[in-house]
């Protein structure tokens, strides 16, 4: 059973997938940083100094906790309820950039695989080779 687990866990495809997931997670962090720190600040500057991560529609204002002189809570705090659409815009831009990069990488990989297929044509089937030999022998014999 241990041997079977080792074969499963250390198969090439599983290890490749694990490496891909780890690198993908790190790459997503880089793309998020690129969007948050490089793309969005100039875009915000162009739009009159807007910080996209702070743009929101407040549905209900938050209320601070109220205490009496004895320190007892009279009114509990109520958190703000808001739709953070600016953060959504930033996350969407991050997604689009990440999806574009993944698309380009996959396109390059598939393109290189097709070039390898074109470069090395399959050998003809044995029947075809045999028929060609018979044809050549008949041509030679006549």
- For 109-142, the pLDDT digits (tens) are 878 777 766 666 788 899 988 999 999 999 887 6
Distance between CA atoms of 49 and 44, rounded to whole angstroms? Answer: 5
| Residues 82, 88: Cα–Cα separation, whole Å | 12
Q: What is the pLDDT of residue 24?
A: 84
pLDDT band at 80 (very low <50, low <70, confident <90, very high): very high
Residue 17, pLDDT > 90, answer no
What's the CATH superfamily of 2-141?
Answer: Large-conductance mechanosensitive channel, MscL; domain 1 (1.10.1200.120)
Asked if pLDDT for residue 12 goes beyond 70, the answer is no
Report pLDDT digits (tens) over 81-97: 999 998 898 888 888 88
**What pLDDT does 117 receive?**
65
Q: Which residues contact 44 (CB under 8 A, 6 or more apart)?
A: 50, 51, 52
pLDDT digits (tens, 9 = 90+) for 27-69: 888 888 888 888 888 888 888 888 888 889 999 999 888 989 8
Tell me the C-alpha distance between 98 and 90, whole Å. Answer: 12
Q: Whole-prediction pTM value?
A: 0.55
């Amino acid at each position: 059973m241990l041997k079977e687990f080792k074969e499963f866990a250390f198969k090439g495809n599983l290890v490749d997938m694990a490496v891909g997931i780890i690198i993908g997670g790190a790459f997503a962090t880089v793309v998020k940083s690129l969007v948050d720190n490089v793309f969005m600040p100039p875009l915000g500057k162009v739009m009159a100094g807007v910080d996209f991560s702070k743009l929101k529609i407040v549905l209900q204002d938050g209320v601070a906790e109220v205490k009496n002189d004895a320190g007892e809570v009279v009114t509990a705090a109520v958190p703000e309820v808001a739709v953070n659409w600016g953060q959504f815009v930033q996350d969407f831009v991050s997604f689009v950039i990440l999806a574009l990069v993944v698309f380009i990488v996959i396109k390059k990989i598939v393109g290189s695989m097709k070039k390898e297929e074109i470069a090395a044509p399959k050998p003809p089937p044995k029947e075809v080779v045999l028929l060609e030999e018979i044809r050549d022998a008949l041509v030679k014999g006549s």
